[in-house]
A = this chain, B = another copy of it.
Amino acid sequence: MKLIEKSRMPVKRGRPGYDQDSVLRIAVEAFNEHGYEATSMGKLADRLGISKSAIYHHVSSKEDLLRLALDEALIPLESVIDEVQVHQGSADERLDFFLRATFRILISKRSYVTLLLRLRGNTELERNALDRRRAMDRQLAQLVTEAQSTGRLREDLDPRATARLLFGLINSVVDWFREDGPIEAEDLENQAITLVFDGLHPTQK
């Protein structure tokens, strides 16, 4: 949590009107619109309406921006598993908690998660972020395995494949959910959880 707090602190350098956070936010918009590789620091400076050297008051390189942006998504997502470890519930309740907590981060950190989900692994930094995503896949698969072993989850599903499919379903909200859309975030969260645990068929459980 400390790292997040640090990156949120307004940095009093560069032109008035921009702190590191706002430079980061606008950079991530540009990366998401045109792709990270296609967005040069020159294009970013144009978008911000400041000089390239003014950007370098805030960050040391384009890769530094990417690193900060990825941490905005990865650090809170990774913290979910720590919260799950101390959660006092049955394995399926902990899985429910994991999915809901992840969902809420996806909504609140949407643009940063979008960037994370589009990484291709072309640099060490990108590969490191992909490794951290894979670690989360394994943690979710572990939760599924535990819930299966206690009889709270159907046992005919492969835990790794299930973890990937669950992330696929939940992660997709960053692509299409709109705050001003026809469904509220809270309703969507509940519907996603119902779909995941109870399925589309009418239930008599």
Contacts and interface: CB of A to CB of B under 8 A. Distances in A.
A35 B38 contact: yes
Contact of A205 (B152, B155, B182, B203): B203
Contacts of A120: 32-35
Nearest to A117: B175
A79 to B, nearest CB: 23
Contacts of A195: 157, 162, 165, 196, 199
A60 interface: no
Contacts of A204: 204-205
Interface in A149-197: 151-158, 160-162, 164-173, 175-176, 182-183, 187-188, 191-192, 194-197
A122 interface: yes
Given A168-B169, A172-B167, A172-B172, A200 B154 contact: yes
Interface string A97-123: 000000000000000000000101010
Contacts of A153: 200-202
Contacts of A192: 161, 165
B176 A162 contact: no
A122 B198 CA distance: 39
A183 B205 contact: no
A36 interface: yes
Contact of A172 (B157, B169, B201): B169
B156 A182 contact: no
A37 interface: yes
A85 to B, nearest CB: 20
A152 to B, nearest CB: 7
16 contacts: A34-B120, A35-B35, A37-B38, A153-B200, A153-B202, A154-B201, A156-B191, A158-B183, A158-B191, A160-B183, A162-B200, A167-B172, A169-B172, A172-B172, A197-B200, A199-B203
